[in-house]
Amino acid sequence: MNGKSFFVDLTLCTACRGCQVACKQWKKLPAEKTRNMGSHQNPQDLSSKTLRLVRFNEVQDDKNKLNWFFFPEQCRHCIEPPCKYTVNMYAPGGVIQDPETGAVIMTDKAKTKVGKVESWELCPYNVPRQDPETGIWNKCDMCIDRVQMGMLPACVQSCPTGTMNFGDREEMLDLANKRLAAVKKTKPKAYLADPEDVRVIYLCESAPDSYHENLLASADQRKTLMANGPAPTKSSRRGFLTAALGKNNKA
């Protein structure tokens, strides 16, 4: 499989948020008004103006020791992107896939009535966000303008620790597997998150919920999105997952 991929080594992330700032700077996206919610994470969630967010999660282990886990979240650029099929049902041409890189790109045509569709109806990772004023959906586009000029994505260019890596897919998969083997020597439960399904490959040393509830995608949910498109009468995440599980149980 050709194209480009990211390799994100979460064992090296220090949550400096350089990638988050670089994304905003390159995309010329404004800052958002926030307030202290008892966490260093800021802002609290992705938005149409925050396409990349370093999530902070504090986890207590079985020895009552608190550990920080950092998760620089972005669009995973799925190999077979459910959002492409779902958005294009509502807004033809709203999502395109670059044939050279595999980047999944939301265009200005990715517009739906505000509140008509929720992110979970588009994406198994709950990543895209809708501008509440224009109705246009937005997310990371792999810095396709930079990549087409031979440059690294802004987030990768800014990373000082080696967490963020980018290149040809086979090269990134090879790097990910070699790094995984090295990490497993001290962290035997380490794993790669959905490496066959996405172009943003995370190396994790702890359970998925140590990082974020959307680190991994449910295979059943992905299949349901791809097969059936959106479920307009099930707008909440709970409702959508209940419907999907119900279908699988009847099969």
CATH of the domain at 246: 3.30.70.20
Residue 56 and residue 148 in one domain: yes
Task: Look at residue 219 and give its three-state secondary structure.
Answer: helix
Q: What does each C-alpha distance from 4 to 12, 109, 161 come to in angstroms?
A: 21, 24, 21
Average pLDDT, integer, range 221-231 = 64
CA-CA distance, 209 to 171, in Å (whole number)?
Answer: 28
Mean pLDDT throughout 213-239?
A: 63
SS3 55: strand
Q: What's the pLDDT band for 215 if we cut at 50, 70, 90?
A: very high
Task: Please tell me whether residues 50 and 159 are part of one structural domain.
Answer: yes
Q: How confident is the model at residue 61 (pLDDT cuts 50, 70, 90)?
A: confident
Say yes or no: 121 and 243 in one domain: yes
Query: Do 227 and 105 sit in the same domain of this protein?
Result: yes
Both 120 and 231 in a single domain?
Answer: yes
The average confidence (pLDDT) of the chain is: 90
Q: Is residue 189 in some structural domain?
A: yes
Q: What pLDDT shows up at residue 229? A: 57
Residues 56 and 174 in one domain: yes
Q: What total of structural domains would you count in the chain?
A: 2
Q: Specify whether 246 is located in the same domain as 127.
A: yes
Evaluate whether residue 118 is within a structural domain: yes
Residue 58 lies in a domain: yes
pLDDT of residue 250: 42
- Identify whether residues 128 and 171 lie together within a single domain: no
235 and 180 within one domain: no
* Same domain flag for 53 and 152: yes
Same domain (yes/no): 203, 151:
yes
- Mean pLDDT across 164-193: 98
Is 35 inside a domain boundary?
A: no
Nearest-angstrom CA–CA distance, 120 and 221:
10
Examine the pLDDT at 204 and tell me if it is beyond 70: yes
Would you say residue 56 lies in a domain? Answer: yes
pLDDT band at 242 (very low <50, low <70, confident <90, very high): very low
Query: pLDDT tens-digit profile of 24-56?
Result: 999 999 999 998 888 899 999 999 999 999 999
Residue 119: CB atoms within 10 A of its CB come to: 18
Q: Is 34 part of any domain?
A: no
Where does the pLDDT of residue 225 fall: very low under 50, low under 70, confident under 90, or very high at 90 and above?
confident
191 inside domain: yes
Indicate whether 15 and 71 sit together in one domain. yes
Summarize the confidence of residues 144-170 as an average pLDDT.
Answer: 99
Decide if pLDDT at 223 tops 60. Answer: yes
Burial 222-237 (b: 16+ CB within 10 A, else e): bebbbeebbbeebeeb
| 76-110: burial string, b at 16+ Cβ within 10 Å, e else | bbbbebbbbbbbbebbeebbbbbeebbbbbbeebb
Cα–Cα nearest to 248, from 233, 235, 228: 228
pLDDT of 152 reads 99
Provide the residue type at 180 as one letter: L
Domain membership flag for residue 36: no
pLDDT at 150 (0 to 100): 98
| 148, two tokens | 């087409």
68 contacts 60 by C-beta, under 8 angstroms:
no
Residue 159 has pLDDT above 60, yes or no: yes
Check pLDDT > 80 for residue 201. Answer: yes
Range(s) of the domain holding residue 224: 82-139+218-250
Record the pTM: 0.88
Average pLDDT score over residue span 86-90:
94
